[in-house]
Amino acid sequence: MESIRSRVQDSGLKVVGENRVADCRAGFTLIEMIIVIVILGIIGLIIGRIINSATRGYQSRAAMKELQSSGRLALDYLELELRYAVPNSARVLAGGAGLEYGRTIFGGHFHNISGTVMAVDDDLSGLDFSGKWLVIYNTHPADFYGGSSVFPIAGNTGNTITCTTNINRDSPYQRYYVCDSAVKVSQNGDGLIYYSGYNPGNVEDHGQFLCHKLQTASFVLQHSQAAEPTVFITLKLGSGALPLALKRQVRLVNFP
C-alpha cells in the first residue's frame, strides 16, 4: 500500500479525499463555533426565563398564603371576642374604619342587689374580679361608655361581687357581665391595630398588631328587629400586584 502511494506521489497525481481527511482533523470553523454559542445562549435564556417564572410564581403563592393566614387569624380573633362582647357595647368609629366594644371575661345571673354588693347564682371561687367592671342591663353603647351601666369592682367572694360604688341599676333578666377592658380595633398605616387595657369611655392605652399589609379596613354594624345585631368586617390586604379581600360576618349573641 505504501509503495502504491509513493508511486502516485512520484508521478505527480493527487490522492482523492486526502485533503478532506486533513480538513476534518483540523476541528470546527469559526462560523460553526459562533452558531453553537448563539444556540446555547438562546437555550440558556429560555431556561432562565422558565426558572425565573417558576420562582416568581412560588414567591407570589407564598406571599398570598401568608396574607390569607394573617388576615384569617385576625378575623378569627375578632369573631371570638365579638360573639361574647358586652351586650350593645359595639359601635362603629370613624365612618366605618374602626370598631369599639367591651370585652367580657365572665357572665351569669344574680338574685339580689344591696348597695354595693350583688349576690350571684354562680360559683366565683378561685376567680378574682378586682379592678374589673360589672355591667348590668346595657341597652345602648352610650350606657356602657357613659358609665351608667358600668360599676368598678372592688372584689368578690364565692357568691358575691362588691363594687366601689352603689349598684343602682337592675336587670329584668337578672343577668350580669364582668368586663376587663374596652377594646378598639382600627387601621394605623398598613396595620390593623388592637387597642385594649383601658376603661370604658376613656382613650385607648396601647395597641398591638393583628395583621400587617392592610390597605383598608371596613366595619358595618347592622341592627335587626328579628335577629341579633351583626357586624360585617372587610379587610383588604396586599402590596403591589397581590390584592386580597377577606370578609367575615359576626352575630353578637349576648343579651343584656
User: Which of the residue ranges 101-105, 179-183, 221-225 would you say has the lowest mean pLDDT?
Assistant: 221-225
Asked if residue 239 belongs to a domain, the reply is: yes
The count of domains in the chain is: 1
Residue 13 has pLDDT above 80, yes or no: no
The H or E element that residue 70 is part of is helix 30-83
Cell 390584592 identifies what position? 243
Residue 240 has pLDDT above 70, yes or no: no
Asked if residue 48 belongs to a domain, the reply is: no
pLDDT at 12: 54
Residue 173 has pLDDT above 90, yes or no: yes
Banded model confidence at residue 8, pLDDT cuts 50, 70, 90: very low
The H or E element that residue 20 is part of is helix 18-25
Residue 67 has pLDDT above 50, yes or no: yes
List pLDDT tens digits, range 72-86.
999 999 999 999 899
- Name the phi and psi angles at 66, rounded to 5: -65, -40
Banded model confidence at residue 29, pLDDT cuts 50, 70, 90: confident
The pLDDT mean for the chain works out to 86
Q: What is the mean pLDDT of residues 212-239?
A: 88
Residue 156 has pLDDT above 90, yes or no: yes
Residue 14 has pLDDT above 60, yes or no: no
Asked if residue 7 belongs to a domain, the reply is: no
Asked if residue 75 belongs to a domain, the reply is: yes
Range of the domain at 206: 70-251
Cα gap 82→123, rounded to integer Å: 25
